[in-house]
Amino acid sequence: MIPLLSAGKIALGSIKSAKMRSTLTVLGIVIGVAAVIANVSLGASFNQHFTNEVSNLGSNFIYIQGMQPKLFYDNQLKIMENTPGISGVSPLKSQTAEVTYMSETKSIMVSGVGEAYDEVANTSLGKGTFINDNDGYVAIIGHDIANEKFGRNLSVRNSIDITFRIGEDEKITKTFKVKGIIRNPENTMVQAYNDNEAILIPIDVMNEILGEKDYGGVFAMAEDPAAIQETSDEVDRRLARSFGISERELDDKDSRPYMLVNQAEILEQTDMMAAALSSFLTAVALISLLVGSIGIMNIMLVSVTERTREIGVLKSLGFTGFDILFLFMVESILLGVFGGILGGAVGIAGAYSVESLLNLPVVFPLSLIVAGFVVAVVVGFVSGVYPARKAAKMKPVDSLRYE
């Protein structure tokens, strides 16, 4: 048997002597491996992005939205506050209103909230302080409202006029002083509304203006992230009882006049979305790799044909069929190694560029790089098996006579 080092030198010589053929062979591996690494990395990056989006929305949040008006009142709010495992609750009520600043009027969603809203909904302020239950006509405005919505930027202590619609024809306008500005948020996918374009006011003030006492929905926060599903289920049971829903009907989600979701459920859904996207991207990458491996095998078969006389000379010099097989396999594996290194670099660069362009988290697990390199070597090996066996089976006399 030929020593591995000698086989490697012969294989490298063969690769160098046919640069175009070797380049095309390596290119097939590069494209396939780069596609695998880039697509799998993108799948992992989207998964991390979805997880971050949900985490940014709130801290162990449970959100309850009424499916009909005039549903939640103080009694339901107290039920949620007194549920074991709940550490914070804030009502939420939204209405589109006309907001005027410096004689410029825009239609904006205005939400009434409680003083715990900043904690349970993870609302971070860039300037000022959050509202409390003792505040009067004050407002927290979103980043885009402050910096882009109007011709002039808004700042803390500026005044805005908000016109609410009451009934079909009546309107009422109140002046609010800006108390805080929401920091430009990172979450954009899963939220009750766009934080960038939010205006928050005390919910008691909003209800006083509208002449109402109900809440549109409620944000709650669970104490223990590990027990968020159990806490959510308990909130659901207690609320259902308050609306006269029997134990038998609890399994029927349509029996409730409200919708309840929690962070764990949304994370599970986004994980499924990310897994489906990752599977699709991986399937596309594997198809590319399969096409590349077929190309490698084709080029290696052409190489065997081109080197028929060379194979005959080697056999006449005493090289066995196994030696010829070994030489061709070493050459295929070396091509796979070169392709794996280049493919890994191209895949990492491509994934990094796309992730940076889309503002996605950059995710490159070490296992992914190693797997891409191993795949390249395996593709080179498998693609070279048939051509190598064909070369090994050639008869020396027929090979030497080949023109």
pLDDT, one tens digit per residue, over 46-74 is 878 777 776 666 558 899 998 888 899 99
- 191 pLDDT above the threshold of 70: no
- 190 pLDDT above the threshold of 50: no
Provide the pLDDT for residue 313. Answer: 75
CA dihedral (350, 351, 352, 358) positive or negative: positive
Query: For residues 84 and 223, what is the distance between their CA atoms, to the nearest angstrom?
Result: 9
- CA distances for 68 relative to 65, 256, 257, 343, angstroms: 9, 10, 7, 56
Range 39-48 average pLDDT: 81
Query: pLDDT tens-digit profile of 199-250?
Result: 999 999 999 999 999 999 999 999 888 888 899 999 999 999 898 888 778 7
User: Which residue did the predictor score with more confidence, 58 or 178?
Assistant: 178
- 282 pLDDT above the threshold of 70: yes
Query: Which DSSP string do the residues of 94-131 spell out, in sequence order?
Result: EEEEEEEETTEEEEEEEEEE-TTHHHHTT--EEEE---
* Percent above pLDDT 70 for the chain: 89
Query: Which DSSP string do the residues of 243-291 spell out, in sequence order?
Result: TT--GGGTT-GGG-SEEEEEHHHHHHHHHHHHHHHHHHHHHHHHHHHHH
- Alpha helices, DSSP H only, in 58-194? 74-81, 117-120, 143-144
- 400 pLDDT above the threshold of 60: no
Residue 375 in contact with residue 33, Cβ under 8 Å?
Answer: yes
Structure tokens that stand for 99 in this block:
């907001």
Pairing of strands 61-66, 217-222: antiparallel
Residue 241 in contact with residue 96, Cβ under 8 Å?
Answer: no
Range 358-385 average pLDDT: 76
- 187 pLDDT above the threshold of 50: no
Range 356-377 average pLDDT: 78
Query: 366-392 and 321-357 helices cross at what angle (nearest 10)?
Result: 150
Mean pLDDT of the chain: 83
- 189 pLDDT above the threshold of 70: no
Query: For residues 335 and 84, what is the distance between their CA atoms, to the nearest angstrom?
Result: 63
- 178 pLDDT above the threshold of 80: yes
Provide the pLDDT for residue 56. Answer: 64
Provide the pLDDT for residue 205. Answer: 96
Query: For residues 392 and 323, what is the distance between their CA atoms, to the nearest angstrom?
Result: 8
* Percent above pLDDT 90 for the chain: 32
185: confidence class by pLDDT, cuts 50, 70, 90: low
Pairing of strands 86-101, 170-182: unpaired
Q: Which three-class secondary structure state does DSSP give residue 69?
A: coil
Q: Which three-class secondary structure state does DSSP give residue 77?
A: helix
pTM: 0.65
Structure tokens that stand for 397 in this block:
């006399």
Range 83-101 average pLDDT: 93
Structure tokens that stand for 340 in this block:
């794996």
Query: pLDDT tens-digit profile of 119-148?
Result: 888 788 989 999 998 899 999 999 889 998
Residues in contact with 46: Cβ distance below 8 Å, sequence separation at least 6, in sequence order: 274, 277, 278, 360
Query: For residues 153 and 148, what is the distance between their CA atoms, to the nearest angstrom?
Result: 7
Range 265-275 average pLDDT: 79
Range 291-305 average pLDDT: 71
- CA distances for 84 relative to 75, 77, 92, 105, 243, angstroms: 16, 14, 21, 45, 19
Provide the pLDDT for residue 133. Answer: 84
Other beta carbons within 10 Å of 131:
24
